[in-house]
Structure 1
Amino acid sequence: MLMRRVVALMVVAMLALSACSSGDPDATASADLRGSIDRIEIGNSETLAPSLDFVPGLEYRRAETRKVWEGNGGVLVDGQPLLLDFYGESLEDGTVLINTFDGLPRPFLLAPELLGEALYEALRRANVGARFLHVAPPSEENPDEPAMVLVIDVLPARAHGTVVEPRSDHPIVVLGATGEPQITMREGVAAPGELQVATLIQGDGEQIREGSHISVNYKAVFFDTGEIFDSSWDPGKAPLETRIGVGQALLGWEQGLIDQAAGSQVILIMPPAVAYPDKGTMVFVLDILDVWNPED
């Protein structure tokens, strides 16, 4: 599968954060026919994806990686959820092989057992917002595959925006170092009889509407006890991808997330009628990481 190849390529790509190579170039190849990462330019396209400018059909016999920019977000932390955008083309003829920029980014976790040691070691030194350019020659396992060029963006895996004053009758939410919310119930506050929605961090990204594809991190606790019911922040889990307005999500999400923006953090207090009928009122805190509206 293509994603398996992408992950494998990233392991090689991140072995160094500056231009690097593996193996020796073909000494018999003409210099005019030998490809190099320095001859590839990244530009803008009419969509969210980058454009790539290169001479097709050149021979790439070594892997090369270049950090395009550092990123101005926080340094990635062990075990945190991770979102990566990919755009890749065949260096043989420019065929687009993967494009998540015009869709949803791919969720991962920053853990060596999930990413492999090489990729883990490189990404844990990267900042959110960093961009990498990688050239991968055909693999030894599949020598007939074309050489490939990838643009890889490291995206925020937590809410980012303007902090909003919380309601005094809502649970207390405190964020850990990775952005994981800790939710504490207030004493003497009764569970509401209907869905309550409040924004804790106001993002400025794409808005959710019916039909939107979303990527979120979430934590859910029982209103009565504060006990955790479910969390995408748990070790071994990654951000959840779902769709709003088509029956894929809980009714409380379907109603409460409409018009919320990417980058926002939202608290939903959900009675059984819009959550789980047999589990009582629940509290969800969701970080809206990405929103994709296909018709845009």
Structure 2
Amino acid sequence: MHTFRHTPRHLVALVLTSALLLTAGACSQEAEPEPEASTQTVDDTITVQGTADEAPTLTYEKPYPYSEPTTEVIWKGEGTPVEADQPILLQVYAEDGDTGEVVRDDHVSVPAAYMVTEEEIGGQLYEALVGQNTGSRVRLVSHKDKQTLITVVDIVSVTAAGEAREAEEGQPQVTYGDHGAPTITIPKDTTAPTELHVQQLRTGRRKQVQANAQVVLQVHAVAWSTGEVFETTWGDGKKPTTVTVGTDELIEGLDQTLVGVPVGSQLLIVVPPVLGFGAMEGNELAEETLVYVIDVLAASDARE
């Protein structure tokens, strides 16, 4: 899956470099089912409209009559509560409260990964998120550097939230630890398959991954012959990673698999050497069958 052709032992996350503005607020989208109808809330000064699959529409007096920081839950999600010191995906939409100018819009790309700490996301957002369910949308108003910011944050799950499927017999088995971290067990005395094998451990219900789209993934991978982990985004201080499908960032077996997969899905992918690192002379995994568990957390529209 997310094995990069040029760095097989390391995941290289594509970090969004736009200003965080997280002390002012944020907007995200979740891998769980979201409200389908347009949702709005009114606190007498700001109206927020739209679903989690689109940038919100904000209505308020300009310049906004700021008096103090405020936080409001637009809707409450049905996912697991956000925990301190754990990774989270946030999709942020922010406007300058004086002019209405869009300052940040993650809906044109994908959510960004953060650790839930005050140092990384700021005190106001930290207080707003801890204990809030994934899938929730939160609106914040703050003032920083003489600028009032009105921000909407969607909290996106860092685990696939699709419908669970029954595991196939004779294939690697997956068990789960804290926060959904997978462990892969290779079946004993079983010959590695010579063809690509994919099964959906969970099936999402959201948009499908398109070629040339950015995708946000959780990745855990082991070598078939040893069962040893050679790549993972799970563990202390680690976050989901972002790649672009179909641009030679991934091994061929993963590129083939991800296109068409609905967001919210979790896949078990067995990749034979010819679709893995087999073409890379001298690569330590060149002759290895690779086994991946991949959570597809978010996807952008296809890029030209």
- TM-score interval w.r.t. the shorter chain? 0.7 to 0.9
Computing the radius of gyration from Cα coordinates, the structure with the larger value is 1
Amino acid across the alignment from 1:123: L
After TM superposition, the structure 1 = structure 2 runs for residues 126-205 of structure 1, keeping only pairs within 5 Å, are 126-137=132-143, 139=144, 142-143=145-146, 146-205=147-206
Instruction: Determine whether 1:230 maps to 2:231.
Output: yes
Of 87, 101, 108, 1:81 maps to: 87
Q: Contact between 1:85 and 1:152, CA under 8 Å: does it hold in 2?
A: yes
Q: Cα RMSD over matched residues?
A: 2.6
Shift of 1:151: 0.5
Q: Secondary structure at the match of 1:186?
A: coil
Shift of 1:78: 4.6
Q: Contact between 1:89 and 1:95, CA under 8 Å: does it hold in 2?
A: yes
Shift of 1:172: 0.7
**1:80/1:223 Cα in 2 relative to 1: closer, same or farther (>3 Å)?**
farther
After TM superposition, the structure 1 = structure 2 runs for residues 74-113 of structure 1, keeping only pairs within 5 Å, are 74-111=80-117
Q: Secondary structure at the match of 1:252?
A: helix
Match of 1:7 in 2: 22
Q: Contact between 1:103 and 1:294, CA under 8 Å: does it hold in 2?
A: no
In structure 1, how many angstroms separate the alpha carbons of the residues matched to 2:125 and 2:50?
27
Q: Percent same amino acid among aligned pairs?
A: 28
Shift of 1:106: 1.1
The normalised TM-score by structure 2 is: 0.79
**1:177/1:38 Cα in 2 relative to 1: closer, same or farther (>3 Å)?**
farther
Match of 1:285 in 2: 293
In structure 2, how many angstroms separate the alpha carbons of the residues matched to 1:201 and 1:221?
20
The normalised TM-score by structure 1 is: 0.81
**Greater relative CO (CA pairs within 8 A, separation 6+):** 2
In structure 1, how many angstroms separate the alpha carbons of the residues matched to 2:119 and 2:274?
39
Match of 2:281 in 1: none
Q: Contact between 1:74 and 1:127, CA under 8 Å: does it hold in 2?
A: yes
Instruction: Determine whether 1:264 maps to 2:270.
Output: no
Match of 1:42 in 2: 48
Q: Secondary structure at the match of 2:66?
A: coil
Once the two structures are superposed, residues 262-296 of structure 1 have per-residue CA deviations (whole angstroms, 9 ceiling, x without a partner) of 00000111122222333111111000001112479
Amino acid across the alignment from 2:291: V
- Structure 2: 5+ residue runs without aligned partners? 1-15, 27-41, 279-283
Q: Contact between 1:206 and 1:292, CA under 8 Å: does it hold in 2?
A: no
Shift of 1:114: 4.2
Shift of 1:124: 2.8
Amino acid across the alignment from 2:24: L
Shift of 1:257: 1.4
Q: Secondary structure at the match of 1:8?
A: coil
